[in-house]
Structure 1
Amino acid sequence: MTPYDAISGQGPTGLTDGFGRTVSYLRVSVTDRCDLRCVYCMAEHMTFLPKAEVLTLEELDRIASAFVALGVKKLRITGGEPLVRKGVMGLIRELGRHLRSGALEELTLTTNGTRLAQFAGELAEAGVRRVNVSLDTLKPELFRRLTRGGDVAKVVAGIEAAQAAGLKVKINAVALKDDNAAELPELIRWAHGRGCDMTLIETMPLGEVETDRTDQYLSLETVRAELESFWTLSDLPLSTGGPARYVAVAETGGRLGFITPLSHNFCEACNRVRLTCTGTLHTCLGQEDASDLRAVIRAGGSDDDLVDAIRLAVDGKPKGHDFRIERSAGPAVARHMSTTGG
């Protein structure tokens, strides 16, 4: 039991930023590594972090547990690809104790799905009830090109294994104007036909990559208008704790989410912060803000020191991001999504 297990749910809990927004959702990256190289996410030849810079599983547990003690109700494990981290299931099982105590409402995972077939049963046993799977196309050749060598059949097998283990699956797809725009209705039908929710995401200017995101950017306002030309979309008051706005699709019987950081930002209701695998806390995805929690704990900081550092960082959470898709703009932040975490 960590020191935070004894205080979870007690004392001066609750994290509120300087704009009155309550932070109840922490995304925890456990690695910057991935077994795919998606063109919009990573450079083709990535330089990954030295092991010494990456938090140990025990350090990740300590920091995540501190957030739970401060009132965070949802933890999402991310990467890179989290399931490539050696021993990650041990961390997930440990964090599951907060579900059993009632301090944590949800422990979830975002994955590319390539290793889900191997780990789905263990995830369910650890208390995970749903996972998000990134899948931008069902076309084998296009998938191979977008991921620089991936096999879409492994992802589909992972989704099937997750559902067989009792996990709910949501499919996430980045909308890419020149690659999958025409396929999106088919992908939505496929997901809904399998009982999966689907969420579309606008490409975001994070990190230097070889492709020009200006050419690939596709406004989801445009996508929604096209879908409404042949489907009936009804807005839903649903929130899963993230930034997506949901609609019901009458013809498919499923739910469809839109994450629109550029065409319609969601900053006014932002309730989340991100912890990188190096212990850097980012309170905004689209700003260069950073607080070094690794330095606090590796310098021998007490639990109170860690809590103070977290509160100080959250208090300074920016009002909003600076995402823009323009040829002259460049990336909003230099760090890659794989480094930031999910």
Structure 2
Amino acid sequence: MISHAAGNETRPKLVDRFGRSIEYLRLSVTDRCDLRCTYCMPKGFKGFEEPEDWLTFDEIERLLAAFARLGTSRIRMTGGEPLLRRNLSELAGRIARLPGIRDLSLSTNATRLDRYAESLKAAGVSRINVSLDSLDAECMEKITGHDSLPKIMAGIMAGKAAGFSPIKINMVALRGINDHEIDGMVEFCIAHGFILRLIEAMPMGSTGQRASFLDLGPIQARLKEKFDLRPQAAELGGGPARYLTTADGNANIGFITPMSQHFCATCNRVRLAVDGTLYLCLGQEEKFEFRPLLRGGASDAELEAAIRVAIELKPQKHDFREKPEKVIRFMSQTGG
């Protein structure tokens, strides 16, 4: 775990107009992905940002340093698939060394993690989240568009060997597709010491709007009884999951329920897309463009002032239930 804690108590905090402290930034380092998950990116999609429009490592480091000076302490590198960005371990090291950053993590589909696990761990990434929606190769090919399971499993085990802790397995629960595998995924994660997080599909873009939504409420009640799960009081990261733990405290299962039981009142995060666009909510269109400032000679003080202006745009809640067709951008374009 990164530690720049000294003096953090006196650092200014980013607080939005609804009183939420914004301490968590999800950084997209690329909008490209080597998979085409049915709820995320359409097959054949080619509307990617051009590399010259991506923020450079220098620009990312400078902007994240400004966020850190204002109290943001958690960074998660995402995509698309972040391991498609060249020299990601170098960027990780630069972020990890920023004063004020105390937690650097990575979300990945793990298809390339076996190549990069050790260098990322050495650079300062302490935790990883891996997308794994099924333990069945045929089902994974149906969901991801590729024969992806062997590469993903190799990546997960490489991450375990490299010493990442915890490793969280993110499973998007899809009615009629992988819902029959949930119990098996729980058993797999308990056996390997992973934290399972079950996620409700969100109606982002045409793919998300067509996803087979599954309400996790009844699933949670059933798993609670079958595996003798109890409420988990300890914090297990800075995200929105609500956790249950086994009676012996050795295994945890999280539930991310943006649809059936949203967590907007405690939302502490914003998302920075690869082109420098800051998205204030997954389910709304409010955004702020930082690339023109970074490439237009803005001072550090002007960047910090712009961050405060941007945070004021953060909406109170999403409209996924009321207006599921509202957000047309895909998850990969927003950033994890």
Q: TM-score range by the shorter chain?
A: over 0.9
Distance across 2 between alignment mates of 1:313 and 1:42: 27
Write the letter of the residue equivalent to 1:16.
Answer: V
Residues 1:143 and 2:137 are matched in the alignment: no
Distance across 2 between alignment mates of 1:197 and 1:297: 38
Aligned pairs for 1:91-130 (under 5 A) are: 91-98=91-98, 101=99, 103-130=100-127
TM-score normalised by the chain length of structure 1: 0.91
- What is the aligned partner in structure 1 of residue 170 from structure 2? 172
Structure 2 portions without partners, runs of 5+: none
Q: Show CA shifts across 1:18-49 (max 9, x none).
A: 01111110000000001111010001111211
Match of 2:297 among 284, 300, 315: 300
Q: CA deviation at 1:177?
A: 0.5
Does the 8 Å contact 1:176/1:203 carry over to 2?
yes
Does the 8 Å contact 1:231/1:251 carry over to 2?
no
- What is the aligned partner in structure 2 of residue 286 from structure 1? 283
Residues 1:336 and 2:326 are matched in the alignment: no
- What is the aligned partner in structure 2 of residue 188 from structure 1? 186
Distance across 2 between alignment mates of 1:11 and 1:58: 27
Write the letter of the residue equivalent to 1:78.
Answer: T
Q: Show CA shifts across 1:155-175 (max 9, x none).
A: 111111111111121100000
- What is the aligned partner in structure 2 of residue 75 from structure 1? 75
Query: SS of the residue aligned with 2:157?
Result: helix
Residues 1:241 and 2:238 are matched in the alignment: yes
Q: CA deviation at 1:150?
A: 3.5
Distance across 1 between alignment mates of 2:265 and 2:93: 34
Distance 1:230 1:11, change over 3 A: closer
Query: SS of the residue aligned with 2:285?
Result: coil
Could you tell which deviates more after superposition, 53-62 or 33-42?
53-62
Q: Show CA shifts across 1:206-265 (max 9, x none).
A: 11229722xx10001021122234221211123311000000134894100000001001
Aligned pairs for 1:245-284 (under 5 A) are: 245-250=242-247, 253-284=250-281
Write the letter of the residue equivalent to 1:72.
Answer: T
Distance 1:235 1:10, change over 3 A: closer
Does the 8 Å contact 1:144/1:150 carry over to 2?
yes
Q: Show CA shifts across 1:91-125 (max 9, x none).
A: 11111212xx5x21100000001111011101110
Distance 1:172 1:11, change over 3 A: same
Does the 8 Å contact 2:282/2:318 carry over to 1?
yes
Query: SS of the residue aligned with 1:209?
Result: helix
Give the aligned length.
328
- What is the aligned partner in structure 1 of residue 206 from structure 2? 208
- What is the aligned partner in structure 1 of residue 37 from structure 2? 38
Residues 1:310 and 2:323 are matched in the alignment: no
Query: SS of the residue aligned with 1:228?
Result: helix
Query: SS of the residue aligned with 2:80?
Result: coil
Q: CA deviation at 1:134?
A: 0.5
Write the letter of the residue equivalent to 2:91.
Answer: L
Q: CA RMSD in A?
A: 1.9
Residues 1:153 and 2:150 are matched in the alignment: yes
Write the letter of the residue equivalent to 1:83.
Answer: L
Write the letter of the residue equivalent to 1:145.
Answer: K
Distance across 2 between alignment mates of 1:225 and 1:283: 32
Distance across 1 between alignment mates of 2:18 and 2:138: 46
TM-score normalised by the chain length of structure 2: 0.93
Residues 1:65 and 2:62 are matched in the alignment: no
Does the 8 Å contact 1:232/1:251 carry over to 2?
no
Q: Percent identity?
A: 43
- What is the aligned partner in structure 2 of residue 18 from structure 1? 17
Distance 1:10 1:218, change over 3 A: closer
Could you tell which deviates more after superposition, 248-257 or 49-58?
248-257
Structure 1 portions without partners, runs of 5+: none
Distance across 2 between alignment mates of 1:23 and 1:32: 23
Distance across 2 between alignment mates of 1:145 and 1:301: 47
Query: SS of the residue aligned with 1:77?
Result: strand
